[in-house]
Amino acid sequence: MAVADVAAALVAPAADAPELSLIAYGDVTAGCVRCALAATRTQVVFGSGSPTAELMFVGEAPGFHEDKGGVPFVGAAGKLLTKLLDGIGLSRDEVYIANVVMCRPPGNRDPRPEEISACEGHLFRQIELIRPKLVATLGNFSTKLLSGKPAGITQVHGREQHVVLGGNPVTLYPIFHPAAALYTPRMLQVLEDDFRRIPELLGRAAVAQVPAAAPAPRQTVIEQPSQLGLF
Ligand code: URA
């Protein structure tokens, strides 16, 4: 990509041609050396799915299979995520799936604070370009990063929060990481229960983002979505 294209990809407004902006941004990140993970990765694992998805999932970090294939959530946890999506009538192509860090930490260790800080700009840029209405955070790392709060996933799973991400209002929905549910039936049950609420939350998030029509004279103007019982 030419230098001018790289610059354009970094500043292109999300509203026009989000696909192109996202693809261009993916190209830009392919050579990222912002943290030490660049030295040990096979490749950068950029997000995948629909560039106009209303629903986005954010996991933790690529594992062995993602590092080899260059696509997030294609290993065992990814297969469970695909199955859970299928259970609510959605396919991977209809959503967007990304991670807190885009490069595999060696041996699948937890991402370090400096790696998360180095990569967070890439995640926020993807959110800004895609403009999802509902962001489901999978596990502790994405939940803490995107909520901006220290509360862990066990405490907050299944409880939606209202935040601004990438300059847009977003419903944040923390749920357990599928990897945590792979071998623990009780955890899988909780994850399935939390997943079942996604269609309803998506519907509510979409309504909350519809711009209000110009108020008729003397009509009560509701300025806070909370007054509509949406939040
Ligand atoms: N776990 C994650 O958090 N992300 C992946 O892409 C795969 C497994």
CATH number for the domain harbouring residue 194: 3.40.470.10
Cα(178) to ligand 1 centroid in Å equals 9
With a 6 Å cutoff on the Cβ, whether 73 touches ligand 1 is yes
Q: Are 176 and 136 in contact (CB under 8 A)?
A: no
Cα(72) to ligand 1 centroid in Å equals 6
In a domain, 122, yes or no: yes
Mutating to test ligand 1, I would choose from 60, 96, 177 the residue with most ligand atoms within 8 A of its C-beta, which is: 60
pLDDT in tens, 48-90: 999 999 999 999 999 999 999 999 999 999 999 999 999 999 9
Cα(1) to ligand 1 centroid in Å equals 28
In a domain, 170, yes or no: yes
Task: Please state, in angstroms and rounded to a whole number, the distance separating the CA atoms of residues 105 and 113.
Answer: 12
| Structural domain count, the chain | 1
pLDDT in tens, 44-56: 999 999 999 999 9
In a domain, 84, yes or no: yes
Whether 204 has a pLDDT exceeding 60, the answer reads: yes
With a 6 Å cutoff on the Cβ, whether 102 touches ligand 1 is no
Cα(227) to ligand 1 centroid in Å equals 37
In a domain, 26, yes or no: no
Q: Supply 93's token pair.
A: 């192509």
In a domain, 9, yes or no: no
Give the range of the structural domain holding residue 103, as residue numbers without chain letter: 31-228
Q: How many C-alpha atoms does 143 have within 13 Å on its Cβ side?
A: 20
Residues 10-34 have a mean pLDDT of: 80
In a domain, 5, yes or no: no
In a domain, 13, yes or no: no
In a domain, 63, yes or no: yes
Burial (CB count <10 Å: 0-12, 13-18, 19+), residue 26: middle
